[in-house]
Structure 1
Amino acid sequence: MGRSGAEPEASSVARAAVVALVLLAAMLSPCCCCASAARVGGVGRRRERRLQLHPVILIPGAGGNQLEARLTEEYSPSSFACRVWPVVRGRGGWFRLWFDLSVVVAPLTRCFADRMTLHYDRAADDYRNTPGVETRVSDFGSTSTLRYLDPNLKLLTGYMNVLASTLEKEAGYEEGFDLFGAPYDFRYGLAGPGHPSRVGSAFLQRLRKLVESACAANGGRPAILVAHSLGGLYALQLLARSPPAWRAEHVRRLVTLSAPWGGSVQEMLTFASGNTLGVPFVDASLIRDEQRSAESNLWLLPAPRVFGNTTLVESRYHNRSYSAKNMTQFLRDIGFAEGVEPYRERIRPLVEALPEPGVPVTCLVGTGVDTVESLVYGEEGFEAGPEKVVYGDGDGTVNLASLVGPIKAWSGSPEQVVEVVELPKVSHSGILNDKNALDQILRVIDAINLNATSPSIHRSSQDVLYK
């Protein structure tokens, strides 16, 4: 697929729509029945153990959220395809924006990208949607939006349902009683002190109220926050921005899965060349600008305090190398100068320090999976993609240095409990459906509910950092 500006004819669009509908029908989750069946088995165990269970709140990673949109009269379609797709009742009808398989149909990829794009408003010092595009995250508090795709499709958006179903079937949890989901608009992020974050801050407020209501509905027992990937960063900010008394009363433990505490080198590949996230038939160049616009992607760039002066990207065209400490130069050279100000003013202060969560933390991390460690671009520049990719240790998405970052930052604090569970050969998304990983998550949660620590599943920070 290229970047042709010519609009497709109506017949082509119609055929594309039919293909998309067929794909969507094939992809709609058959897992609802599986979840219901699992719930039947879990209810009895819940009734037997209900006084022992701390409520669990699942906070997904970026891809594990469902995002809906509707178009207003202010929306200006960039092509005929965008004018007629999707087919909804009236112009104000809601439709699924993320994740929707119409993105794999070339004429509709640009529509998807246009509608997903965020814009930084310098005057307001905050991000907003594309004009005419309204978005929402539905069913907050429910886990249903976390499990709307078949996990056998091996897309990140389908993996969270495996964890939710496992907690129901194996641990006796019940959705809406002691198991809750906290989806969010993953395109937005948070900012350092003094900078507004309307959408991100609103999510933290909703998450705080969900934690409080979950505790109140379960005899005052504090909640277990189980957060995957980007969700771990949000969970940390919730805790860091809450008073110690609130944390002690409402949060028993933070359990993170593949949390990118110090960002990821792969994010530099996303900014430079685009990233299809494993979705087939999608031209990365068509979605690159949209991915650059996401505030959360700036949040996930390699943090200077973790990666230091290590060379992460080289460009022979620019005769320059880039580390986490000259990220603004990297953003300029890839042609994204508009990202420099928000990164420097909003994001850099946010990632320069990693605040202690103030509650016990268990970090589960995948290791031993090839992970992008450095990139080399040739004479044709960033548009041509990297000529060489060097891999190192990590979970396939997040580098090991970033995964164990909190250990270096927090292990010296006598008041901060940090435990690490290493999962060899478990990938960033696989941590949500790998049997061994699920077993470990269950054991961690069982240990918390039993107010005990199982030495067979925990490793000390010394084991991880200096093995």
Structure 2
Amino acid sequence: MKDRRTTRHCLAIRHGQSHFLNHQSFPPPKKNSATSPHFHSEPSASARGSHFKCGRKSGCPARKQVQQSDADPSKLEITYFDAHTCDNPPPSSSQVVPDPRIISSGTQRNTVQLVRWIANLPIVLYVSTSGVAIRQTRRIQGHLSTPLMRLLLALLLLVLPPPLREYFSASHLPKDAGVGSELHPVVLVPGLLCSDLEARLTEAYKPSAPRCGAMKGNGWFGLWKNASDLAANDYVDCFLEQMRLVYDPAINDYRNLPGVETRVPNFGSARGFHCKDPLHPKQCVDYVREGLERVGYRDGDTLFGAPYDWRYAPPVPGQQSQVYSRYFRQLKSLVETASKKHHKKVIIFGHSYGGMVVLDFVRNTPLAWRNEYIKHLILVAPVLSLGILIQAQIIAFGPNMKFVGATQSSLRTMWRSFETGIVDLPSPKVFGHMPLVITEQRNYSAYDMEDFLVAIGFGDSVEPFRRRMVPKMRYFKVPMVPVTCINGVGIRTAKQLVYWKSDYDRSPEIAYGDGDGTVNLISMLTFDKEMRRQPAQKKQFKSVKIHGAEHCGLITEEWAVKRVVQEFLEANRISS
């Protein structure tokens, strides 16, 4: 997992490691004296027993006292004071800092003091050495795996603000420190291109080349599963053809080519999808899944996946969509099954395009059903119908899918057939009349997207854009369930495209603004505003902006993934 942060950006609460905690037994001590690899006797001993100081480094404050038990002279009591500083320095104010990437407010001082206080509470352990019972008083540091410590840590987490709570996230907790059976089930919905697609060819399929019909009558095969196999089997052209969709104006919906049937395999499994780019195989929430597994989630028990056919756009209520009608029924059944199994509501997670899928799924369910089954929505870098400018560049030039092994023009032809190709174009509600695409002849604003589609040679998309996408742009209804939306900011993001000679076969010059590299900041802020407009939803909405986090970096960078996993833990703690 990548982590490009420097040390000064890390949120860290470092405990001084006590050398003696590595030892579970000690040599039999003489009366009122004891030996240890890291301690030697001080010149004087009190009536209460012998005192020993650290023998590793002068100035280390660690001490221990050995004395006979008043209650039972056959037993020795060993008490440890302070922590070793000879390897790791004790926590200081300069080490306990909020992550500057996480935008939050409020002071940390009292919380930091509470962390230090709990970390220095004494606990009592009993060990037996050669038949001699020894009582050892030690600090809490290093014993977070005991039941008492888990309880204290849980109480501490309730009062910590989010930046400090990240310290106690998955990588800092012991493997058994999760809440086990108390976890709310989670359904993961990945971003674009992640879900596998299988195809079956019938006699109605008319291939453009004989080799493309070779799979007729052979049942289901992986159409979008392993991109490397396409070139190896000389199947790239066939792939591009069989992936295409057709818009049917009679029913105002998209469908496959005649004779091509498709399905999404592995529905229900959190491991049922992956990135097809061999150079980046773990860009489809793999690290988020692994982080959840470290805190106790298990695939098929409390953790599920809901892959979908990403060529289609989820409909707003009232729109026709055969594909999503079936998918929403599957997802609804999955949520109900997971909830009934554990007698708990379900947390649904969506990244990027999956965020749109999740939001539109919930909007298409009855409010009573949401109240019964939905615990929380966690949307990470959601790509919503409010629009993003980069979508205009993709529809003009084609997607960045070089790993498929196809030419850019052939990829563009395939992509333009997808409903996904025209979704997320800039919305007038967000971008207004600002020039977004600039050419020598004219400029195009969000109000001119139909003209822009004609200009790039894609006039066939004007009708489905007008009939299916414009209603999505104009529709906004809050889900009326708890929602956390996490976005990256502070990344250069396209805000204007310059095709001066109207040559859309070339990459444009780009003027940059703020965002996550894909989603424009203005779209994020508009979504936040709309979510807070309804008072009841405002009380159930949390927006997190993380400076320096890229669109995909939110689910691949180690520090960002920790922050995302923390939101799952927080959603589990919130009472509903």
State the partner residue of 1:72: 202
1:186 correspondence with 2:310: yes
State the 1:281 CA deviation. Answer: 5.1
Conservation of the 8 A alpha-carbon contact between 1:81 and 1:107: no
Query: How far is the alpha carbon of 1:386 from its aligned partner?
Result: 3.7
**In structure 1, how many angstroms separate the alpha carbons of the residues matched to 2:339 and 2:211?**
48
Matches within 5 A, 1:143-182: 143-147=270-274, 153-154=279-280, 158-169=283-294, 171-182=295-306
Relative to structure 1, the CA distance from residue 72 to residue 197 in structure 2 (aligned partners, 3 Å threshold; closer, same or farther) is: same
Structure-to-structure mapping, 1:17-416, within 5 angstroms? 45=176, 49-79=179-209, 82-83=212-213, 91-98=218-225, 100-103=227-230, 108-147=235-274, 153-154=279-280, 158-169=283-294, 171-192=295-316, 194-219=318-343, 221-261=344-384, 262-277=386-401, 279=403, 282-316=406-440, 319-379=441-501, 381-382=503-504, 384-416=505-537
Compared with structure 1, are the counterparts of its residues 291 and 60 closer, same or farther at alpha carbon in structure 2 (3 Å cutoff)? Answer: same
Q: Deviations over 1:145-164 (max 9, x none)?
A: 124769x8325x74322221
- The amino acid of 1:97's aligned partner reads W
Deviation at residue 124 of structure 1 after TM alignment: 2.1
> Structure 1, residues 184-214: CA drift from partner, whole Å, max 9, x if none?
0011123455431110222112111111111
Moved more, 200-209 or 174-183: 200-209
Determine the C-alpha separation between the residues in 2 that align with 1:364 and 1:419. Answer: 8
Q: Is the 8 A contact 1:43 1:174 kept in 2?
A: no
- CA distance, structure 2, for counterparts of residue 337 and residue 274 of structure 1: 16
TM-score by length of 1: 0.79
**Kept in 1: contact 2:496–2:512 (CA 8 A):** yes
Percent sequence identity over aligned pairs: 35
The question of whether the paired residues in 1 share the 8 Å contact of 2:387 and 2:424 is answered with: yes
Aligned to 2:9: none
- What SS class does the counterpart of residue 564 from structure 2 fall into? helix
Pick closer, same or farther for the CA change 1:377–1:105 going to 2, 3 Å.
Answer: farther
Contact 1:120 1:126 (8 Å CA) reproduced: yes
User: Which has the bigger relative contact order, CA under 8 A and spacing at least 6?
Assistant: 1
> How far 1:122 moved relative to its partner?
1.2
- SS where residue 142 of structure 1 aligns? coil
Which letter does structure 2 place at the counterpart of 1:343? F
SS at match of 1:153: coil
Instruction: Answer whether contact 1:239 1:358 (CA < 8 A) is retained.
Output: no
- Whether 1:425 and 2:548 are equivalent positions in the alignment is yes
C-alpha distance in structure 2 between counterparts of 1:178 and 1:66, whole Å? 22
Mapped to 1, the partners of 2:241 and 2:174 lie a distance apart of: 44
Cα deviation code 1:384-436 (max 9, x no counterpart): 32441222211122212223332111213221122122222222122111111
Partner of 1:464: none
Which runs of 5 or more residues in structure 1 are unaligned? Answer: 1-41, 454-467
Which whole-Å deviations, capped at 9, do the CAs of 1:309-362 have from their partners, x for residues lacking one?
12111232xx12111111111111111111111111111112212210101111
Report how many aligned residue pairs link the two structures. Answer: 401
SS of the equivalent of 2:563 reads helix
SS of equivalent residue, structure 2 residue 223: strand
TM-score by structure 2 length? 0.65
Distance 1:54 1:393 in 2: 35
Q: Distance in 1 between matches of 2:502 and 2:471?
A: 34
- RMSD of aligned residue pairs (Cα, Å): 2.6
